[in-house]
């Protein structure tokens, strides 16, 4: 009898101090979070994935009545974001290049991103670093759309004493990238750095073009060059 009374009192205390997070309550708060994230330029699919996981993990949970639902869900969202970031493991680029060099294969890096974020300049910095590390490098100008793209990359290459693989403007970018990889294979070049045209994810033709480049050269690494102020 005393045990039953103890359990009843415990249940009463829990009811007075705890609450169950309902689906409607959670959805109402997450909807506001979704708007805030979308307004900060976070991709819609990322927002949906994050909020769906939060909802899945918290609906039906019992939490302290003194804890505001919005604050609790905000903490949960940050916890999930941190967890996702820590899943991404750092890579040892020099080691990976060395391993492919030992097998007699070129290491291929494709640089991509939206317009005007500094892809070509970043490629020059990469090339300089790899050259200092003792690797042979060639550059591929797969940006066949932007006026001056070939000349810009060639200027960087000349300053670094490197070869550029390019074709005419309007040529197939995937063909340019493929030519660079073939050249590297024939001449035992360690690294191929592929410059590509800037593009937005809303441009279907340019996104299809990027998929073709990736499919043709099968890069060891894809480097996204973005603006730190983009949100």
**pLDDT score of 165:** 95
Residue 25 maps to a domain: yes
Confidence at residue 12, expressed as pLDDT on a 0 to 100 scale:
34
Domain boundary among the residues 87, 108, 137 is at 87
Question: To the nearest whole percent, how much of the chain has pLDDT over 90?
Answer: 48
- Domain containing 167: what range? 93-224
Instruction: Give me the pLDDT at residue 6, please.
Output: 43
Q: Last residue of a domain, which of 63, 87, 111?
A: 87
Q: Model-level pTM?
A: 0.69
Highest mean pLDDT: which of 14-28, 182-196, 203-217?
182-196
Specify the pLDDT at position 9: 32
Answer yes or no: do 131 and 186 share one domain.
yes
pLDDT in tens, 134-153: 999 999 999 998 889 999 99
Q: Are residues 79 and 137 in the same domain?
A: no
What is the distance between the alpha carbons of residues 212 and 173, in angstroms, rounded to a whole number? 9
């Amino acid at each position: 009898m005393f045990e039953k009374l103890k359990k009843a009192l415990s249940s009463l205390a829990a009811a007075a101090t705890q609450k169950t997070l309902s689906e409607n309550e959670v959805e109402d708060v997450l909807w506001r979070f979704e708007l805030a994230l979308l307004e900060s330029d976070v991709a819609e699919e990322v927002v949906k994935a994050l909020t769906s996981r939060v909802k899945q993990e918290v609906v039906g949970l019992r939490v302290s009545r003194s804890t505001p639902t919005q604050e609790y869900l905000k903490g949960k969202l940050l916890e999930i974001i941190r967890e996702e970031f820590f899943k991404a493991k750092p890579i040892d680029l020099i080691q990976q290049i060395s391993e492919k060099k030992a097998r007699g294969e070129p290491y291929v890096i494709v640089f991509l991103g939206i317009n005007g974020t500094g892809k070509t300049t970043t490629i020059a910095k990469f090339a300089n670093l790899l050259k200092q590390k003792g690797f042979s490098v060639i550059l591929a100008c797969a940006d066949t759309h932007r006026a001056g793209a070939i000349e810009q990359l060639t200027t960087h290459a000349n300053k670094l004493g490197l070869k550029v693989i390019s074709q005419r403007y309007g040529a197939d970018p995937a063909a340019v990238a493929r030519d660079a990889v073939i050249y590297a294979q024939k001449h035992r070049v360690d690294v191929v750095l592929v410059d590509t045209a800037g593009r937005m994810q809303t441009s279907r033709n340019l996104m299809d073009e990027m998929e073709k480049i990736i499919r043709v050269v099968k890069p060891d690494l894809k480097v996204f060059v973005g603006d730190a102020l983009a949100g």
